[in-house]
Each structure stands twice: as structure tokens, then as C-alpha cells.
Amino acid sequence: MFCEPLIDWKSTPRGVWNQFVTLLILLMWFGIADRGFGQTSIDIVQVPSDVEKSSTTDQYFEVDNDHSSLIFAVSHAGLSYTYGRFEKCSGQILLTEDLEDAYFRFAIDVASINTNNQLRDDHLRGPEFLDAKTFSKIKFNSTSVKRQSATKNYLVIGTMSMHGVERQIEMPVTMIGIGKGPMGKTRGGFVTKFTIQRSDFGISSMQKVIGDQIAVTFSFEAILKDSPPENFKRFIEKK
């Protein structure tokens, strides 16, 4: 009968059942990952009720590399996505009440790229791609910060410098929350997703195999400091 089940789950060995569940989870995961590639908007994160609200006074943060993840994805031969990450980054964030003087700054160590393949990583560090010896840092400096209504969503506009080329980009940033870390320090958590075209930065090798669009996800924690250091204050004054 057509209405009879195709599989008798009661008589199915546990191992087969476990393999089916694993396969189902993987299919769901790849479906989610595929829909997320190249996504320029970010999901609204549900903040736990015990996370502190952002203060209205000026707040200066320094990015904690140990609790930050900068991940990128690029199409490979139109068949799949290759994912990689940069292992080392630093940055400073200044949030102000009216956001007129708010500021985001990041520096990424190009040589810290990791795609889980030594030969490929060496190729990407070389002159055909990122040219890490000549251009050791990828930098971002904001020029304006806007809040979306009364939410914790910010539109950060600024200049990205990569491979010796500067381009203006937009980063939709969500502040996940502010709270105490395990060691008692106050931390802010942020996340952003955006896309860039590598050809815009003079990196156009192997475009028949490697996609031009790079999808970036950057989740970062930053430690709240009492006040900005003097060199940061002077930097802001020169903006």
C-alpha cells in the first residue's frame, strides 16, 4: 500500500538510524551555509537578559584576538565554497552617545591566513594574490558610524586598505551585548557580515576557478578600557 511507511524504524538497526540522523543534520547545515553566502545583512541576535545595556557615555574598547574570528568564503570552480580565516587581528572601537565621534579601526595580519592547506596558504600569501611581504596588513578605518533607530545595529562606513588599494566599504555591525567575562573584565561583543570584490583591490588572478566575490564574517570581542591611550586620541584628532 502507498500509505505504508517505506522504512520500518522499529526494526532498523541503531547504527543505520544514527547515520540517517547525521546525514539529515549535514544536509540542513549545508542548506543554511549556502543561503548565507554573500549575505550582506546580518541576523538579529537574541541577547541574554543578564547582559548589560550599553552605557550612554563614551566607551573605548580594544579587540581581543583570542576571542575573535575573521572568516571568509569564496567560490571554487562554481562547485563549492572554500572557507578560510585570518588568525591575527587587532582593533580599537570608540562608541559615543551621539555617534558623531564614534570610531572603528581594525588591522589584519595578512600572513596569518589559514585555509587548512599549506601549499594554498603559501600561494595566497605570494605576489599573485595578497603579497604579504609587500602589503603585510589589511586595514579598516571608519569615516562615519550610524545607528539604526534605537537598536544595537550600526552601519559603519569606512576605508578598507588591502593589497595597496583603498576602497570605501560598508559594514553592518551588531553589538551583541556588553557584560563581564570569566576574568571579571567588561567586554563588548560584535558581529558583522559583508562582501567585497577582490578584483576591486587589484587581486584578479585565476578568476575562472576562484570567485571574485568574498563573503566575510567577523565576530569579535573587545575589552572595555578606562580611557583611550594618547596615541589613539591623537589619531582621532587627525581624522
Q: Who wins on pLDDT, 102 or 98?
A: 102
On whether both 57 and 13 belong to a single domain, the answer is no
Domain count, the chain: 2
27 is in which domain, residue-wise? 8-37
Query: Judging by DSSP bridges, how do beta strands 186-197 and 113-114 pair with one another?
Result: unpaired
pLDDT one-digit tens code per residue, 2-25: 344 444 545 556 655 565 555 455
Does residue 73 sit in the same domain as residue 102?
yes
User: What is d(CA 233, CA 239) in angstroms, rounded to the nearest whole number?
Assistant: 10
30 shares its domain with 98:
no
Q: Same domain, yes or no, for 48 and 28? A: no
Q: Which residues of 83-117 are buried (b: 16+ CB within 10 A; e: fewer)?
A: ebebeebebbbbbeeeeeebbbbbbbbbbbbebee
pLDDT at 88 over 80: yes
Instruction: Convert the pLDDT of each residue in 127-142 to its tens digit.
Output: 999 999 999 999 999 9
**pLDDT of the residue at 183:** 83
Q: Is the dihedral of CA 99, 192, 231, 187 positive or negative?
A: positive
In a domain, 87, yes or no: yes
Specify whether 47 is located in the same domain as 102.
yes
Question: Is residue 2 in a domain?
Answer: no
CATH number of the domain residue 98 falls in: 2.40.128.110
Cell numbers standing for residue 220:
569579535
Confidence of residue 76 (pLDDT cuts 50, 70, 90): very high
Q: What percent of the chain has pLDDT over 90?
A: 58
Q: Whole-number mean pLDDT of the chain?
A: 82
Residues 126 and 30 in one domain: no
Tell me how far apart the alpha carbons of residues 80 and 140 are, in angstroms, rounded to a whole number.
Answer: 29
Per the CB < 8 A criterion, the answer to whether 85 and 73 are in contact is no
Distances 180 to 103, 184, 192, 223 between C-alpha atoms, Å: 23, 5, 22, 10
Residue 24 DSSP code: H
CA-wise closest residue to 174 among 152, 158, 157: 152
Q: Over the stretch 184-216, which tens digit does the pLDDT of each residue have?
A: 889 999 999 999 999 999 999 999 999 999 999
For strand 153-162 and strand 103-109, is the pairing parallel, antiparallel, or unpaired? unpaired
Q: 174 with 191, same domain?
A: yes
Residues 125 and 135 in one domain: yes
Residue 1 lies in a domain: no
Max CA separation in the chain (angstroms) = 79
State residue 11's pLDDT score: 54
Partnered with residue 201 across adjacent β-strands are none
Is 178 or 122 the better-scoring residue by pLDDT? 122
